[in-house]
Structure 1
Amino acid sequence: MNDQDLFPIEPDALERLHARLEVSAAEARLLDVAYRIIDTPVGQLLLAATDRGLLRVAFEREGFDEVLQTLATRVSPRILHSPSRLDQATSQFEEYFAGRLHHFDLPLDHRLSSGFRQKVQQYLPRIDYGHTLSYRQVAEQVGSPNATRAVGTACATNPLPVVVPCHRVLRSDGHLGGYIGGLEAKSALLTLEGAGSR
């Protein structure tokens, strides 16, 4: 016999306790990274945010536990499942996947990237919904025409996929290239946006 057998806890009571923990942690400034997991047409996504803005969007195939461990190491160990802190982001993802939102309007925390990678990632939202560019074209747009491979690396390490639309960058021959969420997810996002691919 364990404690739960002796003192059964109603699921609603646990939810209320967790909600109180969220509020208390935020008020005491003990919460540095809030996260939640949402269901989408491309599978579950983990969203994580700081006071600065959305910090990380992760596909399930990346391993949510590994992603959270990396955030604990690189940003802060004060991480809490805090869905309400990500209501605005969740709402925009829902609108995007319903085809009603063409541009995310969220504050972003770019601290997980730096240098050329960050420069490329900050350029990517300029690629319009429903359009694509090649890795070479992006390299030219950011002023480094010989950095095609580095653009590919910046896209592959993008900590904010979907919001920072690295899925809109294709190989010069029109084929998909790689994608952190897998080629099926990349193809689905392009199809949703009406961009198509070969």
Structure 2
Amino acid sequence: MTSPSDQAQLTGDYTIDPEHTRIGFVARHAMITKVRGSFNEFEGTVHVDGDNTADSSAELTIRAASIDTRNADRDGHLRSNDFLAMEDYPEITFRSTDIARTGEDTFDVTGDLTVRGVTQRVTIPFTFEGQAVDPFGNSRIGFEGSTTINRQDFGVRWNAPLETGGVLVGDKVVLEFEVSAIKQS
């Protein structure tokens, strides 16, 4: 783990490694369980300014069609106009507008999240998990974070009432980020 006094050595441009990164989500199903899923195709960059956190930035582009909940029928429905409308909106994007240090190894990353053509400002609390050089000589950094959004805020309104009361899909969706990024030379 890099200590706060060593943050300057982290300065640089990084590419998110999709082989070692998970972009996931959790949503309530039928009011009694949760469905977990992830997006399998994405790319992103992180610029770290170890001397001035506010000058750091992050961008992420997710292919909506890569949604994976381990159920083909559900995934097909999530890709449809009822949810992600991926034919009209093939990408989900996030672009940071502010990064602020909140603790020794914690940061709030605020930015614009766009889903289905609707952009909302969100803040994602992240924890810096450390820095390492892998066996191939790549300098890597790791971050983990999550935030909760309301899918209705992004125009994702489809639902079905249940006989026992309530609805099939909860409005709150937890977005989960487990990021490994490789420093570019």
Query: TM-score of the superposition, structure 2-length normalised?
Result: 0.25
Q: Which has the larger radius of gyration?
A: 1
Query: TM-score of the superposition, structure 1-length normalised?
Result: 0.24
More strand by share: 2
